Structure 1
Amino acid sequence: MKKNYFFYSNKKCFIDHNGIVSSKSHSNLALIKYWGKHNHKIQIPLNSSISYSLGKVYTVTRLIYKRKKKKNSSIKIFFSGKEKTSFLPKILEFFHRISFYCSYLRDFNFIIETYNTFPHSSGIASSASSMSALALCVMKIEKKLVSSLKKDLFLKKASFLARLGSGSACRSIYSGLVVWGCHPSIKGSNNLYAIPYPYEVHSIFTKIANTILIIDDEPKKILSSKGHQLMNNHPYARERFKCANKNMNRLISILKIGDFQEFGELIEHEALTLHAMIMTSRPYFLWMKPNTLNVIHTVWDFRKHSNKNIYFTLDAGANVHLLYPIQEKTSIIKWIYSDLFSYCKKIIESFCY
């Protein structure tokens, strides 16, 4: 499917002069990491990725639209009840990009009211949940214009638009396992929007607990968008992209047969590879904090002595995601609070869904 498919071309549209739409969108956690893109303005990934959506980690957004009386456009954004002018450049750029596909947006001024259930800009994919929630709001406006818009196209276009705000946001449109980026072994996968994982998944991977250890709740000093750009001249980039696509093939097999140990070792390898690329960029930098490493070593020791199926992964930040079968939650969550709580500022109990 080409991007021209998503044009909105009805010039004789009618919609209420004023209105409100709202959406909730969940953060997602990549198992195979996307790191590096062809062009940061059009968000085309250099390797495929796959993620889980996270149950209790989400953004809620209200989009208030008012028909313009003057030519000048106006957008205001409020985060947790306070006006956030620092968010405006990214939002304005997003609306500029998607207005090519949603021409009706040029007729309105907007007020965006949004909040998260988790810290923003700290490495828990807040841009993914926020931009996907905003994309879903835009598509609800389009649905008012095109009542015949089918659910499948609604979601595909929402994913396509979300990608133009934040690459990984395209995966947050769907629940479950979601794939983004063209991969020869995954039918329907492409670079323009995400798709639900289309193949058989063992039951053990449909009920996974996710506990998030907030090591650092401050905004990152280097945002992911800047980090992606450092892959352009990275000496190990080509091998990383090959490795990611090979790991996707491995994961397809693991998801089918239900080997949780292989699953865990693969996602830990992916997480550490992502941070290895960050540490060997030019300029190089560290997102991990001392307590990130303390948690990792404590998890390794616990797993060795208990034989429990608990594994970690990291996104682009210091915070640690722990994944384990929901059947083992009672004993594992007790251990997390007793042995890991001292390393973090907050614990978020979530789940993959």
Structure 2
Amino acid sequence: MNTSEFLFITKDKAIDSASFTWQTPSNIALVKYWGKSDPQIPKNASISFTLNNCHTTTKINFSKINKVEKADFELYFEGKKKDDFKPKIAKFFERIQEYCPYILEYKMEIHSENSFPHSSGIASSASGMSAIAMCLLSLEKELSPEITTEHFNKKASFLARLGSGSASRSIEGPLVVWGEHPEIKGSSDLFGVKFPYKVHPIFEDYQDAILLVDKGEKQVSSTVGHNLMHDHPYAENRFKQANENLSKLSKILQSGDMKQFINLVESEALTLHAMMLTSNPYFILMKPNTLEIINQIWKYREENDSNICFTLDAGANVHVLYPASEKEAINQFIKNTLAAYCQKNQYICDKSGYGAKIL
């Protein structure tokens, strides 16, 4: 596993102060990863749709200081100092200082905000960590202007992964693979890569409505959940299944076979939760309304010969996936039927997007 290409070699310029702002999206995995080894290496490859409207905007102000032992930073979330977020960011900076030694020469002031409600149950670590990584790479490019766009994105994904595994999939879009897979050219456990094949037109501009079933803090963190895969009785079969499913999905995305897409994506979501149900200690992240929504989706699909389907993250919320051609009818169905199962009738309409943007 060669990480040497991500080491920072030379400084061509001296920069006393700088400021960068990036907007980076969340993403939703179609083939899930659940289980990893240190440092943030996935046990199987995964693929996700990059989202468009659910994003984090992060600005980092860098001011030159005498070199310190540990990253010196302040963190503001939605205008307020957020000291309870600091340990996670501090650990991230510790992991990356080997690759970004320049962070020890700057005082960093980080200002971050989400386009979606905090604690809405939407994974904000993917968008949050990738936004910080993009700001760091912007400083690196100022220090070494010869960095190519390809290296910029690859290293940003590599760094983001060290903060949150799924953050590696939030740099580019609309479909990103993270994890080494024999059928995905250039794929790696160290960073995400854009899906390398031409996608059938039906998967362009794909819609994702996120139904906020439970906006509370998850009772089991993703880190704890991933660790429970170490001694899981079905872990090895699951990793094998996920890699086989990615092979199948690769063909489906190119052929446009909607029936197979629906079957595979829903099966992946339910398998993820089956892993939680069968780990020790076991846990359930779905809520009664999660199941109500799934049953309503199945009923609607059958009655309307629709291509609607669902996927789930490690939580209670439901991502409703559907092609843009069905947008009007399905948005009406969500409003009239599914919204009633959401906390305070809240849901977010989103779609596939193209990754990080500098502001």
TM bracket, shorter-chain basis:
over 0.9
Which residue of 1 is the match for residue 6 of structure 2?
6
Residue 79 of structure 1: how far off its partner (Å): 0.9
Measured against aligned partners, the alpha-carbon deviations of 1:166-213 in whole angstroms (never above 9, x if no partner) come to 001001000111000011111111101110000121110112111110
What letter corresponds to residue 261 of structure 1 in structure 2? K
Measured against aligned partners, the alpha-carbon deviations of 1:138-160 in whole angstroms (never above 9, x if no partner) come to 00000110111110000000000
Residue 301 of structure 1: how far off its partner (Å): 0.9
| Secondary structure in structure 1 of the residue aligned to 2:36 | coil
Q: Is the 8 A contact 2:13 2:142 kept in 1?
A: no
**Which of 253, 265, 279 lines up with 1:281 in the alignment?**
279
- Counterparts in 2 of 1:188-199, with a 5 A limit? 188-199=186-197
Distance in 2 separating the partners of 1:130 and 1:219: 17
Which residue of 2 is the match for residue 52 of structure 1?
49
| Secondary structure in structure 1 of the residue aligned to 2:108 | strand
TM-score with structure 1 length normalisation? 0.96
Distance in 2 separating the partners of 1:164 and 1:287: 25
Which residue of 1 is the match for residue 19 of structure 2?
20
Distance in 2 separating the partners of 1:268 and 1:6: 36
Worse-matched range after superposition: 153-162 or 259-268:
259-268
1:186–1:94 Cα change, 3 Å: same
Which residue of 2 is the match for residue 38 of structure 1?
37
Q: Determine what percentage of the aligned residue pairs are the same residue.
A: 49
Residue 121 of structure 1: how far off its partner (Å): 5.1
Distance in 1 separating the partners of 2:13 and 2:130: 24
Residue 70 of structure 1: how far off its partner (Å): 7.3
Note the residue ranges of structure 1 that are not aligned, 5 or more in a row: none
Worse-matched range after superposition: 213-222 or 153-162:
213-222
Supply the RMSD in Å over aligned alpha carbons: 1.4
Q: Is the 8 A contact 1:61 1:130 kept in 2?
A: yes
Distance in 1 separating the partners of 2:121 and 2:312: 8
Residue 305 of structure 1: how far off its partner (Å): 1.1
What letter corresponds to residue 287 of structure 2 in structure 1? K
Which residue of 1 is the match for residue 103 of structure 2?
105
Which residue of 1 is the match for residue 357 of structure 2?
none
What letter corresponds to residue 269 of structure 1 in structure 2? S
Note the residue ranges of structure 2 that are not aligned, 5 or more in a row: 354-359
Distance in 2 separating the partners of 1:71 and 1:201: 48
Distance in 2 separating the partners of 1:226 and 1:292: 22
Distance in 1 separating the partners of 2:256 and 2:12: 53
TM-score with structure 2 length normalisation? 0.95
Residue 124 of structure 1: how far off its partner (Å): 2.2
| Secondary structure in structure 2 of the residue aligned to 1:8 | coil
Q: Would you say 1:292 and 2:290 are equivalent positions?
A: yes
What letter corresponds to residue 30 of structure 2 in structure 1? L
What letter corresponds to residue 25 of structure 1 in structure 2? T
What letter corresponds to residue 43 of structure 2 in structure 1? L
What letter corresponds to residue 204 of structure 1 in structure 2? I
Which residue of 2 is the match for residue 208 of structure 1?
206
- Counterparts in 2 of 1:1-353, with a 5 A limit? 2-10=2-10, 13-16=13-16, 18-39=17-38, 42-69=39-66, 71=68, 73-120=71-118, 122-345=120-343, 346-353=346-353
Distance in 2 separating the partners of 1:3 and 1:326: 40
What letter corresponds to residue 4 of structure 1 in structure 2? S
1:30–1:70 Cα change, 3 Å: closer
Worse-matched range after superposition: 117-126 or 107-116:
117-126
What letter corresponds to residue 36 of structure 2 in structure 1? K
| Secondary structure in structure 1 of the residue aligned to 2:128 | helix
Q: Is the 8 A contact 1:8 1:101 kept in 2?
A: yes
Distance in 1 separating the partners of 2:305 and 2:37: 42
Measured against aligned partners, the alpha-carbon deviations of 1:68-107 in whole angstroms (never above 9, x if no partner) come to 2574653111111111111111100111111100111110
| Secondary structure in structure 1 of the residue aligned to 2:22 | strand
Worse-matched range after superposition: 89-98 or 6-15:
6-15
| Secondary structure in structure 2 of the residue aligned to 1:148 | coil
Distance in 1 separating the partners of 2:279 and 2:120: 20
Distance in 1 separating the partners of 2:219 and 2:82: 18
Residue 125 of structure 1: how far off its partner (Å): 2.3
Measured against aligned partners, the alpha-carbon deviations of 1:219-246 in whole angstroms (never above 9, x if no partner) come to 2122111111110111110110011011
Distance in 1 separating the partners of 2:19 and 2:229: 40
Q: Is the 8 A contact 1:50 1:177 kept in 2?
A: yes
